[in-house]
Amino acid sequence: MNRSTWAVLSAVCWVTVSVGCSFDFNNPYANERDVQIVGDSVFDLSGEIHEVLEDLSGKSYKDRSVSGAKIAAIDNQLGRALSRSSLRTIIADGGANDILQSSTDCDSDPLTNACLNLIDYVADTMFGMMVDMYYGPSDDHVWLGYYNVKGSEAEKNEAIDYVHDVIYPDMFDLSEYGGSVHSGSVPGYGIYRGSTLGVFQISVLDPRDSILPSDIKSDNIHPTYSGSEKLANLIWGVMVDRGMYR
């Protein structure tokens, strides 16, 4: 794809975010298919997180992420990834486009019942994805949580904070199923929490304190290179801390 075509499609997706748009901007050659990325434009739009992870690992991970993808589409990406019998690690994000592309009011303070219902739908789908991961071939899993956005999108931050502070602590605590919980930090990049259940482990990452307004593009949503670099280093740091295959 030439640069002018990429720019036009990129602009169209940003302008039409309220009605929905998805496009796979970055699908790099992969020489490591036992680590796969599923998610949305945080990974796909610039491809910079993949690039930094490639620099850190010396490998090019299979990237299935698609810009504009909602959680149901990311669930489908996961299904394709889990079809690989030798799969060892999943890196994922998702859920923001369900809010950004919805007419549901997630800007009000406090959050509306309709917004809470939408968040619950995303959370239920995510938990189903976690179950699929547990029964799938991969043992190691990283879920990248969202950072606070800025400018015209800043009203969405209450929903982002609610997910991190209310939904994730319960969702990623598998102690009621016999699992053990863990938490930690990657200095300068963020914190994480999660659970181990048998050979299965999953960590959810919180980059809110490290991603500054200067790390976010003028569209008020997507990371600049500095933001992508921080997110990639957070992912990598957790994979190293937790001894994940990478």
* Per-residue model confidence (pLDDT) at position 3: 42
Residue 10 token pair: 């990129």
Residue 189: band (very low, low, confident or very high) from pLDDT cuts 50, 70, 90: very high
* Residue 11 confidence (pLDDT) above 90: no
Q: Which long-range contacts (CB under 8 A, 24 or more apart) does 136-139 make?
A: 136/82, 136/87, 137/82, 137/84, 137/85, 137/86, 137/87, 137/88, 138/81, 138/82, 138/87, 138/88, 138/89, 138/90, 139/88, 139/89, 139/199, 139/200, 139/201, 139/245
The model carries a pTM of 0.90
Task: Kindly list the structural domains of the chain, giving each domain's residue range(s) and its CATH number in brackets, ordered by start.
Answer: 3-241 (3.40.50.1110)
Average pLDDT over residues 19-48: 82
List, for residues 84-113, the tens digit of each pLDDT value: 999 999 999 999 999 988 999 999 999 999
pLDDT of the residue at 117 = 98
Q: Output DSSP code: residue 209.
A: T
Confidence band, pLDDT 50/70/90 cuts, at residue 23: low
Cα distance between residue 241 and residue 203, in whole Å: 11
